[in-house]
């Protein structure tokens, strides 16, 4: 029987985001979005997992899982509570959290922007006003100056394609804007800002003589878009272009593909990614419709495939397809920055993990340099529009008592983290 062998250099980890687990913050856009009643179960990010007060407890969970690396985000609204003002309390808190990870031999991968922003940034017009990007660059500079000695690896933006689509085209994420022109303007602005921050992080860490190889990239949401008919296949190609290619070409090569050049983007040819960050969950079946909502949110799935609690196809082969496609194009090392399943009963999660790792082993066997796997996520958290009804955790979190309880899949993942081996399914 075949055995999954990941190799000692392959790092296994977990991923979280600040607003989804920390709780207690009223200064971010998602707190306001919850208060306005946009969440399906009317829960709030203000509750979440109370991680802000339970860092030591949750780090013990990471230690018990045996992860070698952990991806976390910093909450911009906590660090910069007002324009030009930085919080010494938040700085101290995050520094202690990062030091605790390192003390437990857990290498941090830090995300600067994971969907949430300070309320004051939104009130100033957010990304629709190009001059506001200076605030984000100022925040990034402060963070790297204060934590760059502890952190060598950075994600500038988590899923910018989802953030812009949902926040500025479809309007189901804050700030709730809708419009194709807004979508292209903000896409161009975020790509330009990524390029600036990429250069900034390298410059600061080099000038300050911080130890460790500096690596900067994005965590891009990758969905496999498949069409079943001739029109569907052409639609899939077009969707892929607007959802993936526009962002990847800009954030990796500095190219502002059509129509971003008309929306304020100007080519800055260069190299702006040190790894490919891939968030992969599922695939969509697409056919031509005029409503973009149907391509990204109210999607079609394959009736013959097993599903997550959210109705998403469980399609492990997709992670191999994505890795192969984009490595051949960009020739960069790959981090799987997110991969997970909503599975409250925990009947499918262990197999989900092993099946996806198996396809990563297949990719590695074809000389595709997949170096990391970050499982989403450690514990059930505030899952955006789903609220408290998205069960992605290796641990169950009771949001009322804040008790963390390991699921069986947590024990299996811990064994994989320890042994870097597992019995493989037949692909």
**Given 22, 97, 159, 177, the catalytic residue:** 159
Q: Can you give the pLDDT at residue 425?
A: 55
Given a cut of 90, is residue 304 above it in pLDDT? no
Q: Does residue 366 carry a catalytic annotation?
A: no
Angle between helices 88-103 and 133-147 (to 10 degrees): 50
Q: Taking a C-beta distance cutoff of 8 angstroms, is the pair 332, 276 a contact?
A: yes
- Rounded mean pLDDT of 311-340? 98
| Residue 356: predicted pLDDT | 97
Q: Name, in order, each residue with C-beta under 8 angstroms of 36's C-beta and a sequence gap of 6 or more.
A: none
- Digit-coded pLDDT (tens) for 369-409: 999 999 999 999 999 999 999 999 999 999 999 999 999 99
DSSP per position, 318-343? HHHHHHHHHHHHH---EEEEEE----
* CA distances for 153 relative to 10, 112, 177, 277, 322, angstroms: 16, 11, 32, 11, 22
Kindly report, residue by residue over 239-298, the tens digit of the pLDDT: 999 999 999 999 999 999 999 998 889 999 999 999 999 999 999 988 766 665 555 554
- pLDDT, one tens digit per residue, over 337-358 is 999 999 999 999 999 999 999 9
Cα separations in angstroms, 173 against 161, 170, 176: 12, 8, 5
Q: Which domain holds residue 388?
A: 3-423
Domain at 132, CATH number: 3.20.20.80
Count of domains for the chain: 1
Rounded distance between C-alpha atoms, residue 293 and residue 179, angstroms? 12
Only one residue has tokens 């194709």, namely: 180
Give pLDDT tens digits for 121-161: 999 999 999 999 999 999 999 999 999 999 999 999 999 99
b/e per residue 370-390 (b: at least 16 CB within 10 A): bbbbbbbbbbbbbbbebbbbb
């Amino acid at each position: 029987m075949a055995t999954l062998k990941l190799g000692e250099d392959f790092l296994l980890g977990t991923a979280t985001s600040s607003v989804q687990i920390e709780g207690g913050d009223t200064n971010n856009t998602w707190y306001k979005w919850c208060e306005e009643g946009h969440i399906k179960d009317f829960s709030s990010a203000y509750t979440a997992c109370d991680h802000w007060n339970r860092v030591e407890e949750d780090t013990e969970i990471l230690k018990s899982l045996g992860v070698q690396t952990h991806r976390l985000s910093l909450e911009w609204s906590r660090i910069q509570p007002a324009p030009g003002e930085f919080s010494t309390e938040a700085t101290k808190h995050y520094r202690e959290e990062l030091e605790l990870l390192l003390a437990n031999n857990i290498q941090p991968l830090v995300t600067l922007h994971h969907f949430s922003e300070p309320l004051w940034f939104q009130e100033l017009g957010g990304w629709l006003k190009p001059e506001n990007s200076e605030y984000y660059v100022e925040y990034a500079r402060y963070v790297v100056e204060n934590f760059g000695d502890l952190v060598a690896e950075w994600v500038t933006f988590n899923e910018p394609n989802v953030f812009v689509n949902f926040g500025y085209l479809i309007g189901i994420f804050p700030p709730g804007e809708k419009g194709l022109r807004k979508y292209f303007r903000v896409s161009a602005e975020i790509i330009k800002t990524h390029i600036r921050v990429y250069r900034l992080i390298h410059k600061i860490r080099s000038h300050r003589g911080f130890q460790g190889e500096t690596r900067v990239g994005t965590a891009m949401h990758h969905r496999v878009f498949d069409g079943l008919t001739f029109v569907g296949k052409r639609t899939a190609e077009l969707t892929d272009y607007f959802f993936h290619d526009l962002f990847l070409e800009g954030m990796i090569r500095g190219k502002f593909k059509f129509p971003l050049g008309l929306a304020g983007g100007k080519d800055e040819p260069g190299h702006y990614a040190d790894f490919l960050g891939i968030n992969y969950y599922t695939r969509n079946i697409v056919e031509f419709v005029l409503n973009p909502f149907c391509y990204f949110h109210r999607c079609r799935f394959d009736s013959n495939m097993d599903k997550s609690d959210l109705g998403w196809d469980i399609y492990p082969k997709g992670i191999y397809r994505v890795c192969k496609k984009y490595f051949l194009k960009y020739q960069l090392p790959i981090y799987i920055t997110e991969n997970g399943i909503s599975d409250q009963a925990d009947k499918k999660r262990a197999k989900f993990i092993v099946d996806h790792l198996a396809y990563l082993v297949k990719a590695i066997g074809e000389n595709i340099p997949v170096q990391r796997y970050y499982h989403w996520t450690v514990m059930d958290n505030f899952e955006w529009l789903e609220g408290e009804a998205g069960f992605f955790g290796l641990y169950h979190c009771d949001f009322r008592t804040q008790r963390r309880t390991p699921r069986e899949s947590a024990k299996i993942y811990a064994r994989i983290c320890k042994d870097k081996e597992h019995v493989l399914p037949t692909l």
